[in-house]
Chains A and B, each alone.
Chain A
Amino acid sequence: MIDVTDITKTYGSGDTAFQALRGITFTISNGEFVAIMGPSGSGKSTLMHILGCLDTPTSGSYYLDTKDVSMLNDEELADIRKDKIGFVFQSFNLLPRTTVLRNVMLPLIYAGVDEDERVRRATEALTSAGLSETHFLHKSNELSGGQIQRVAIARALVNQPSLILADEPTGNLDTKTGEIVLGTFQKLNREHGRSIVLITHEHDVAAYAERIITLRDGVVLSDEKNHSRTHAHHDH
C-alpha cells in the first residue's frame, strides 16, 4: 500500500543546495508496523513529511493506496491527509482548553462527518487507544503525558487512515509511560490491523516494531525484519 521508488529531496538550489534524501526505495504493505530509524540529519524527518503528504519529493514516485501522491498540490495533499493519514507527534499538539472528545473529533469536523457519527467514532477510537470514558470530557491540559499521547493516538485513528505516522511519539515521555504508548501502537497493529510507521532515533523504541528501516545520510542503510522484537506489557 506504500510504494516509494527512488525518492530524492533537495532543499535550496545552486551552491547552497542540500540533498536530504538521495534515492530511497521501499514498500510497506497493509498491517505492517515499521520503524524508520536514523540519527539526526539522516533524512528521517524529511521522509516522514513526504510519507505524511506534508511535502512532495523532488523526484521519484510515491504510491499511497495505488494513488501517486508525489505530484499533488497543497489542497490535494490536504485531502489525502484528511482521508488516509493519522499523525502522532512528539509534542502531542492537542488543542488546549478543549475537551478530549472534541480534540479527537477534530479530523472528522474537517472531513464533514455529522455530529452523532463523530461522537460514536471518537468514542470508539479513544477506547481502542486505551482511554477510559471518565476522561472524555476533561480538558486536554488536565491529563498526564501518557494520557495526552493516547488522546493524540485516538485522534490519529479516528478517520480510519491507511497509515498512522508517529514521529518520536515517546520523545517527551518517561520510559514507563513511553512503554505504555508503544504498547498501544502494538495493540492497534495486532488487534485492529493498523499500518504504523514509527520514526525514531532510539533503538529501544524501534525495537517495538516488526521491521526496521535504518537511514543514514539520505539513503537506506538497512531494511530488515526485527528478530528481537520487544513486546509491551499491556496494562491499560
Chain B
Amino acid sequence: MTINDTIQETYTALSANKVRSGLTILGIVIGISSVIAMVSIGTGASSSISSSIQSLGANLLQVSPGAQRMAGGFGVAGGRGNAKTLTHADADALMGITDVIAVAEEVSGRYQVTARGTNSNTTVNGVTSNYPSIRNIEVAEGSFISDSQDLSAAKVAVIGPTTRDDLFGENAEDVVGQALRIKGIEFKIIGVTVEKGGSGFSNADDIIYVPVKSAQRYLSGDQYLTSISVRAGDAGVMTQVQADITALLLERHNISDETQADFSVLNQADILESASSITSTLTYLLAAIGGISLVVGGIGIMNMMLTTVTERTREIGLRKAIGARKSDISRQFLVEAIALTLIGGVIGILLGCLISYAVNLTGLITTSVTLSSVLIAFGVSALIGIVFGYYPARRAANLNPIEALRYE
C-alpha cells in the first residue's frame, strides 16, 4: 500500500462522518491551543520580569545588612533590613575595591506621606547623588538630589510619577516646588522621575527619594544604611568584585567565619535567577493545565477510534479476506488517529498563537510564542495520535476475518 493510497483511505474514512471527526479534532485543538497560549503567557511574563529587573541597573551588586545569603537563593535572608550593620564608612571603604566604579548608599523605609490633604504609604529611599547613574533613573522634571543637599541633610524630595499621581492627581503639573510631609516632616519636591513601569514585584514609580543623610536624621533616626549598591566596571568581574566586597566587609566587621557574616552581597544574576525560577515554575504550571486538556483530547481520539473500529468490523473483515495483512489494517487506523491529531495540532497551534496575540493586545501582559513550544505541541499531538490510536488499531488488526465478516 503506497503513501498515496493510505492518505486517500484516511481521507475517505474521516470525511465519512465529518461531525464526529470535527468534534474529535476540536478536543485536540483545545488542548494544543491552551498549551501554546498558556506557555506563551508564562514565557512573556518571565521575560518581562527579567527585563524589568535588568532595567534596575546593569552590573549591580547589592550589599544588605543582616544574614548571609544561603546557597541556592536569597529567600532565607532572615532579618535583612532589620539588622543594622552597614554604615557610611563601609560604603566609603568599598569605593577602594578594584573595578568598583560607583557606590550608592541607601536608607529605605515605608512611611506615611501626606500632601494637600491626600495621603499615601510609600517607600522612601534615602539616596546619594550618584544613585540615578547606578540604578538607571532619569529625572523628567526638576533635578535630582545634589551632593550639597546630601551633606547638609536638606529636606528635599524627588518623587516617582505614581506617587505624584497618588498625591497630586493624575499627571499633575508643577509639582516641583510644592511640599509634602513624610512622617510629619515637611520636604520640598525638587524633581519627578521618568516612568519606568512596574517590575512585577513592586512598582518602581511609587517611590520618594530624599538625601541619605536626611533619611537617617529625620526618618530612621540612626546612622545605619539599609543597603549599599555597588556598580562594577563590567559584567565579567562581578564574581570577583562580589568576593572582594565580602572579604573587605568581613575584615571591617571583625568576622572571621564567612558563614557568620552580618551582611549579604547579592548580584543582579542571583536576583534574576531566583525570579526566573519562579516564573519558570509558573510556566510549567500553566503548561500542565494545558496538558490536561490535551490528554482529555487524546482520550476523545481513542474513543472515536474504538467506535470506528466497531462500526467498520465488516469492512475490516472484508479487507482481511481480500488479503490485507495485520500491519495493513493497523497502519490504516493508526494513520487515521494521527491525521486527526495532526489536523487538530495545526489548527491548535494557529488558535494558540491567535489567543496569545489577543492577550498581547489587551496590554496586560506581553506574550511570546516560542518556536520550541510550537514544535513540542506538534510533537505531542503526533505522539498522542500514536499512543491513543495504537490500542484501537491493534484491536482492528487482530479481528478474526470470519467473525468480522459475520458481524451485524
Using CB atoms, name the residue of chain A closest to B323. A82
A72 close to B (CB within 8 Å) = no
Residues in A neighbouring B401, C-beta threshold 8 A: 54
Residue contact B1 to A97, C-beta cutoff 8 Å: no
0/1 string, B179-202, CB within 8 A of A gives 1:
000000000000000000000000
Are A52 and B321 within 8 A (Cβ)?
yes
Select which of B1, B2, B323 is within 8 A of A81 by beta carbon: B323
- The answer to the question of A109 belonging to the interface, with a C-beta cut-off of 8 Å to chain B, is yes
Q: Which residues of B contact A81 (CB under 8 A)?
A: 320-323
Asked if A107 lies at the interface with its beta carbon under 8 angstroms from chain B, I say yes
Interface string of B283-325 (1 = CB under 8 A from A): 0000000000000000000000000000000110111111111
B402 at the interface (CB under 8 A from A): yes
The reply to whether the CB of B5 lies closer than 8 angstroms to some CB of chain A is yes
Q: Would you call A79 and B318 a contact (CB within 8 A)?
A: no
CA distance A54 to B402 in the complex (A): 7
Interface assignment of B326: CB less than 8 Å from any CB of chain A: yes
Please encode chain B, from 316 to 349, with 1 for each CB lying within 8 Å of some chain A CB and 0 for all others: 0111111111101000000000000000000000
- Residue contact B402 to A110, C-beta cutoff 8 Å: no
Stretch at the interface among A87-95, A125-133, A171-179, A206-214: A87-95
Contact flags A28-59 to B (C-beta < 8 A → 1, else 0):
00000000000000000000010010110000
A228 to chain B, nearest CB (A): 33
Are B322 and A82 closer than 8 Å at their CB atoms? yes
Task: Name the B residues within 8 Å of A55 (CB-CB).
Answer: 402
Q: Is the CB of B318 within 8 A of A93?
A: yes
Q: Is A137 an interface residue (CB 8 A)?
A: no
Tell me, in angstroms, the Cα distance from A87 to B321 when the chains sit together: 7
Interface string of A104-117 (1 = CB under 8 A from B): 00110111100100
Q: What's the minimum C-beta distance from A81 to chain B, rounded to whole angstroms? A: 5
**What count of chain B residues pass the 8 Å CB interface test?**
22
**A110:B328 contact, CB within 8 angstroms:** yes
Q: Which chain B residues lie closer than 8 Å to A112 at the CB level?
A: 1-2
Contact of A54 among B1, B12, B16, B321 (CB under 8 A): B321
Contact of A78 with B402 in the complex, beta carbons under 8 Å = no
Q: When the two chains form their complex, are residues A79 and B323 in contact, meaning their CB atoms are under 8 A apart?
A: yes
Specify which chain A residues have a CB less than 8 angstroms from the CB of B318 in the assembled complex. Answer: 89, 93, 95
Which residues of B in the span 114-153 have a Cβ within 8 Å of any Cβ on A? Answer: none
**Complexed CA–CA distance, A49 and B320 (Å):** 13
Looking at chain B's contact residues, is the secondary structure mostly helix, strand, loop, or mixed?
helix
The interface bits of chain A over 71-84 (1 if a CB of B lies within 8 angstroms of the residue's CB, else 0) are 00011001101110
Residues of A within 8 A of B405 (CB): 89, 93
Across the interface, do A107 and B323 meet the contact criterion of CB distance under 8 Å?
yes
Q: Which residues of A contact B1 (CB under 8 A)?
A: 109-110, 112
Please, which residues of chain B bring their CB within 8 A of the CB of A79?
A: 323, 325
A140-166 near B? 1/0 per residue, CB < 8 Å: 000000000000000100010000000
Pick the contact of A49: B4, B323, B325, B402 (CB < 8 A): B402
- Interface status of A98 (Cβ within 8 A of chain B): yes
Q: How far is the CA of A88 from the CA of B317 in the complex (A)?
A: 13
**Chain B residues within 8 Å of A97, by CB:** 12, 16
Q: Which residues of A contact B320 (CB under 8 A)?
A: 54, 78, 81
| A155-B322 CB under 8 A given contacts A49-B402, A55-B402 | yes
Q: A93-B318, A110-B328, A112-B1 are in contact. Are A78 and B12 (CB under 8 A)?
A: no
Give chain A residues whose Cβ lies under 8 Å from the Cβ of B328.
Answer: 110
The CA-CA distance from A190 to B192 in the complex, in Å, is: 107
Q: For chain A residues 1-50, which have a beta carbon within 8 Å of chain B?
A: 49
Q: Are A74 and B322 in contact (CB under 8 A)?
A: no
B323 with A75: CB separation less than 8 A: no
* A54 neighbours in B (Cβ, 8 Å): 320-321, 401-402
Per the bound structure, the CA–CA distance linking A180 and B307 in Å amounts to 38
List B contacts of A75 (CB < 8 A). 325-326
User: Which chain A residues border B402 with CB–CB below 8 Å?
Assistant: 49, 54-55
A109, closest chain B residue (CB): B5
> Known: A93-B405, A109-B5. Contact between A78 and B324, CB under 8 A?
yes
Among residues of B, the one whose C-beta sits closest to the C-beta of A105 is: B5
Closest-by-CB residue of A relative to B398 is: A74
Kindly provide the distance from the CB of A64 to the nearest chain B CB, expressed in whole angstroms: 14
Q: Across the two chains, which residue of chain A brings its CB closest to B401? A: A54
Q: Give the Cβ gap from A44 to chain B, nearest Cβ, in Å.
A: 14
* Given A55-B402, A93-B405, also A78-B315 (CB < 8 A): no
User: Which 3 interchain pairs have the tightest Cβ spacing?
Assistant: A82-B323, A93-B318, A107-B322
Q: Provide a sorted-by-A list of 24 A–B residue pairs whose CB atoms are within 8 angstroms.
A: A54-B320, A54-B321, A55-B402, A74-B326, A75-B325, A78-B320, A78-B323, A78-B324, A78-B326, A81-B320, A81-B321, A82-B322, A82-B323, A83-B323, A86-B322, A87-B321, A93-B315, A95-B315, A106-B319, A109-B1, A110-B322, A111-B323, A115-B4, A159-B323
Binding site for B on A (CB under 8 A): 49, 52, 54-55, 74-75, 78-79, 81-83, 86-87, 89, 91, 93, 95, 97-98, 106-107, 109-112, 115, 155, 159
